[in-house]
């Protein structure tokens, strides 16, 4: 059990928390929340200090945690290395590495020591550890061919994924995860949620992703005004409980009423207007959730809105029958999309499916391989992505960057505008090179807002943003009078902003008629396809093609061409359908054969291992006179178990390839 008793901590002369008293029991999963700078990372540092890592001691009180506990901490930086990615991830399992190193020096060990090491290796299922590492990497979005690449070949964001994978490989009793979803896309986040829910140990995590917290934790430890309060329930329950406290404060009540009046006025004016009906419905949903949002918004330092676009027309962007890719090779085929001033579109898709590629084409940064791309003369795009953040003038201050855009606008107006993004006092005149990731993201958004775009294209805008800024961004986007195209792993943002969802998958761009939770179910089904046997995969694929696909999404085509194609498909003769099915079977036959061979090989390896285990059960084998024979049998067992794990991984890869080919048919 972790126990804090009247703990006080100062850092750089500032009190972070006082009289902190709480208990976290084994197996509990706790979300650590609070405004930036309140001491969340410091709390992690205190826990690590009591396990001999770092020097963040406390000023008053006492901290205790079990001496036998192993703590795994997700560091925020990954040093450059020529180590292979898979080896870097495997290094997270320190026990596995230690046993391997000792077994490599078996000549210096006694029979008893060798036997104990092999038994321990078997106890920790060490022969399957490489396959487990490969599965973790796959869940976090790494392709198989990337496993052998050196760490140095990966960008900063992907190195953070490697660091998370390494942390998940540890045999920890306590996991400390600091913003684990920052560099993940939605499918990786959903995989991580499942992993955390299955983890037997204790988890303490910092996150600004409300949906992620709701799905993974059963307690919230909140830091506010130097006090730590432990709430029972997930984040939504915490918000409701805190709401009851804040509702007694007049300031919170008045701000809630002001926001409610604004939403009700919008609904009243636009509910009957066809072009604004979807946006009005979005406000109705927001109004229904007001009781949950008010505690976050009541003390929110961010309060901004997107300006009315200076000019607009319809359509703003039109893409027809477009093939999109690089160097003449299309990754996405036959994309048709029309962006009007009322469009509020969310893009979904697995990692690497092509969402960012589509966005680059949409904003004009990537020429089409074929097809047509037309834009309005009034088009003014506000484009947010990681590159825009990284391209900020490092030496310039927020005031200087805004002045370059604002011309002769008075300083008072500019300061008030920057203040709505919480740039106040000295921060207005601080060079951006000294800003955190969250501050750079806020500044990039501020510069976009000032330019009055009529189309907002936002690629993961919430990375580095805390919960309060995410809520402010959600409210601002709901009131935006132009079009929105959004890629985000923040499910709350997508659900509250987007009226239409589109799926990028298997080289296609198709409308997704479900909601974000339906997309989570779709992703789960895709993962099941990968892990199923060939026979089960066929059954799942048939179920998906006959049930999920028509109900979960439909193809997009403004001229109804896909509907005609569907009708034509229904009218195909039985002979033509049989011919196409035969072609598909012929195409996938080599992969199915690989899977069948792997199954036979696994059966053979299992039989050999069973025979070896019978031999190793002979107690006379452990006499010193038979040491050489025992070592040979143990080596043979290790080789067979390693082969078994390798064949299982190869079969999994083949199943993945088969699933992808069948999904494209």
User: CA 616, CA 423: separation in Å to the nearest integer?
Assistant: 70
Peptide bond into 315 cis (omega under 30): yes
In a domain, 170, yes or no: yes
Mean of pLDDT values over 38-65: 86
Q: Could you tell me if 661 and 591 are in contact, meaning their C-beta atoms sit under 8 angstroms apart?
A: yes
Q: How does residue 610 score in pLDDT terms, banded at 50, 70 and 90?
A: confident
Classify residue 632 as exposed, middle or buried by CB count within 10 Å of its CB (0-12, 13-18, 19+).
exposed
Same-domain status, 263 and 179: no
Q: Could you tell me if 165 and 136 are in contact, meaning their C-beta atoms sit under 8 angstroms apart?
A: yes
**3-state per-residue secondary structure call for 193-248:** HHHHHHCCCEEEEECCCHHHHHHHCCEEEEEECCEEEEEECCHHHHHHHHHHHHCC
**3-state per-residue secondary structure call for 163-188:** HHHHHHHCCCCEEEEECCCCCCCHHH
3-class state of residue 334 by DSSP: strand
Same-domain status, 193 and 85: yes
Higher pLDDT pick, 107 / 256: 107
Same-domain status, 371 and 497: yes
In a domain, 546, yes or no: no
Residue 571 pLDDT exceeds 70: no
In a domain, 567, yes or no: no
Same-domain status, 387 and 462: yes
Q: What angle do CA 417, 420, 426 make, to 5 degrees?
A: 80
Give pLDDT tens digits for 420-439. 888 888 889 999 998 877 78
Domain extent, residue 406, equals: 317-515
In a domain, 454, yes or no: yes
Mean of pLDDT values over 216-237: 91
In a domain, 306, yes or no: no
Helix axes 467-478, 437-450, angle to 10 degrees: 20
Residue 3 pLDDT exceeds 90: yes
Q: Could you tell me if 19 and 68 are in contact, meaning their C-beta atoms sit under 8 angstroms apart?
A: no
Residue 321 pLDDT exceeds 60: yes
Which of 485, 515, 545 terminates a domain? The answer is 515
In a domain, 491, yes or no: yes
3-class state of residue 26 by DSSP: coil
Same-domain status, 469 and 374: yes
Range with the poorest average pLDDT among 292-296, 323-327, 419-423, 457-461? 292-296
pLDDT value at residue 575: 63
Handedness of CA 204, 205, 210, 214 (dihedral sign): negative
Range with the poorest average pLDDT among 251-255, 567-571, 637-641, 650-654? 567-571
User: CA 544, CA 567: separation in Å to the nearest integer?
Assistant: 20
Helix axes 467-478, 290-298, angle to 10 degrees: 120
Residue 570 pLDDT exceeds 50: no
In a domain, 409, yes or no: yes
Same-domain status, 596 and 484: no
pLDDT value at residue 247: 62
Same-domain status, 65 and 86: yes
Q: How does residue 584 score in pLDDT terms, banded at 50, 70 and 90?
A: low
User: CA 230, CA 232: separation in Å to the nearest integer?
Assistant: 7
In a domain, 529, yes or no: no
pLDDT value at residue 272: 59
Give pLDDT tens digits for 249-300. 555 566 666 777 777 776 776 665 555 556 666 667 666 665 544 444 455 5
Mean of pLDDT values over 609-637: 76
Give pLDDT tens digits for 139-162. 898 888 899 999 888 877 888 899
Classify residue 270 as exposed, middle or buried by CB count within 10 Å of its CB (0-12, 13-18, 19+).
middle
Same-domain status, 115 and 190: yes
pLDDT value at residue 300: 59
Higher pLDDT pick, 506 / 108: 506
Residue 567 pLDDT exceeds 60: no
pLDDT value at residue 184: 85
Residue 361 pLDDT exceeds 80: yes
Structure tokens belonging to residue 384: 């947010």
Same-domain status, 44 and 179: yes
pLDDT value at residue 319: 95
Strand partners, 455: 381, 483
Mean of pLDDT values over 188-216: 92
Residue 457 pLDDT exceeds 90: yes
Residue 301 pLDDT exceeds 50: yes
Same-domain status, 473 and 424: yes
Range with the poorest average pLDDT among 214-223, 295-304, 431-440, 621-630? 295-304
Which of 219, 241, 263 terminates a domain? The answer is 241
Q: Could you tell me if 130 and 649 are in contact, meaning their C-beta atoms sit under 8 angstroms apart?
A: yes
User: CA 124, CA 119: separation in Å to the nearest integer?
Assistant: 9
For the chain, the domain total comes to 4
pLDDT value at residue 287: 64
Mean of pLDDT values over 191-211: 92
**How much is the mean pLDDT over the chain?**
80
Mean of pLDDT values over 448-477: 87
CATH number of the domain where residue 381 is located:
3.40.50.300
Same-domain status, 233 and 256: no
281 φ, ψ (degrees, to nearest 5): -60, -35
Residues in the chain: 665
Which of 195, 214, 241 terminates a domain? The answer is 241
pLDDT value at residue 645: 73
pLDDT value at residue 249: 57
Same-domain status, 379 and 497: yes
């Amino acid at each position: 059990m972790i126990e804090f008793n009247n703990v006080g901590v100062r850092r750089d002369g500032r009190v972070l928390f006082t009289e902190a008293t709480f208990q976290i029991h084994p197996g509990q999963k706790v979300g650590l929340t609070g405004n930036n700078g309140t001491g969340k990372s410091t709390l992690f540092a205190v826990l690590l200090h009591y396990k001999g890592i770092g020097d963040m001691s406390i000023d008053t009180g006492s901290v205790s945690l079990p001496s036998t506990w192993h703590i795994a901490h997700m560091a925020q930086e990954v040093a450059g290395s020529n180590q292979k990615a898979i080896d870097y991830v495997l290094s997270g399992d320190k026990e596995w590495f230690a046993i391997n190193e000792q077994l490599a020096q078996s000549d210096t060990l006694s029979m008893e020591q060798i036997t104990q090491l092999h038994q321990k290796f078997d106890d920790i299922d060490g022969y399957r550890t490489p396959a487990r590492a490969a599965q973790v990497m796959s869940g976090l979005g790494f392709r198989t061919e990337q496993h052998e690449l050196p760490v140095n070949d990966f960008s900063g964001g992907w190195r953070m994924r490697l660091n998370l994978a390494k942390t998940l490989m540890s045999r920890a009793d306590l996991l400390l995860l600091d913003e684990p979803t920052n560099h993940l896309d939605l499918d990786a986040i959903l995989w991580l949620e499942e992993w955390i829910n299955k983890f037997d140990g204790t988890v303490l995590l910092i996150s600004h992703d409300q949906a992620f917290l709701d799905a993974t934790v059963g307690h919230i430890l909140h830091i506010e005004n130097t006090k730590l309060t432990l709430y029972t329930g997930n984040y939504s329950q915490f918000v409701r409980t805190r709401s009851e406290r804040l509702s007694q404060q007049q300031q919170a009540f008045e701000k809630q009423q002001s926001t409610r009046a604004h939403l009700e006025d919008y609904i009243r004016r636009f509910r009957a207007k066809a072009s604004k009906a979807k946006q009005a419905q979005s406000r109705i949903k927001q109004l229904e959730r007001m009781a949950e949002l008010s505690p976050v918004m009541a003390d929110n330092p961010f309060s901004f809105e997107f300006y009315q676009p200076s000019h607009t027309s319809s359509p703003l962007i039109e893409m027809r029958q477009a093939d999109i890719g690089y160097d003449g090779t299309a990754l996405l085929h036959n994309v048709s999309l029309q962006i009007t001033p009322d469009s509020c579109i969310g893009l979904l898709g697995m990692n690497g499916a092509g969402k960012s590629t589509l966005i680059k084409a949409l904003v004009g940064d990537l020429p089409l391989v074929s097809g047509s791309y037309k834009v309005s003369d009034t088009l003014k795009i506000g484009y947010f992505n990681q590159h825009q953040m990284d391209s900020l003038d490092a030496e310039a201050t927020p005031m200087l960057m805004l002045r370059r855009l604002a011309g002769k606008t008075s300083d008072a107006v500019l300061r008030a505008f920057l203040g709505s993004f919480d740039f106040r006092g000295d921060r207005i005149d601080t060079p951006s090179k000294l800003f955190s990731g969250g501050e750079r993201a806020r500044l990039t958004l501020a510069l976009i807002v000032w330019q009055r775009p009529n189309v907002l294209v936002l690629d993961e805008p919430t990375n580095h943003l805390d919960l309060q800024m995410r809520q402010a961004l959600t409210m601002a986007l709901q009131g935006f009078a132009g079009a929105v195209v959004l890629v985000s792993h923040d499910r709350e943002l997508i659900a509250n902003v987007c009226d239409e969802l589109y799926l990028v998958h298997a080289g296609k761009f198709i409308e997704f008629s479900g909601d974000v939770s339906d997309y989570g179910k779709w992703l789960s089904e895709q993962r099941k396809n990968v892990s199923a046997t060939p026979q089960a995969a066929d059954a799942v694929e048939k179920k998906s093609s006959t049930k999920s696909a028509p109900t979960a999404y439909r193809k997009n085509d403004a001229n109804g061409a896909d509907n005609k194609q569907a009708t034509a498909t229904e009218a195909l003769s039985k002979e033509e359908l049989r011919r196409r099915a035969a072609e598909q079977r012929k195409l996938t036959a080599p992969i199915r054969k690989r899977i069948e061979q792997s199954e036979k090989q696994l059966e053979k390896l299992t039989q050999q291992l069973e025979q070896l285990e019978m031999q190793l059960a002979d107690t006379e084998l452990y006499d010193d006179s038979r040491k050489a024979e025992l070592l040979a049998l143990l080596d043979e067992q290790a080789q067979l178990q390693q082969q078994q794990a390798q064949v299982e991984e190869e079969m999994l890869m083949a199943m993945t390839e088969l699933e992808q080919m069948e999904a494209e048919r």
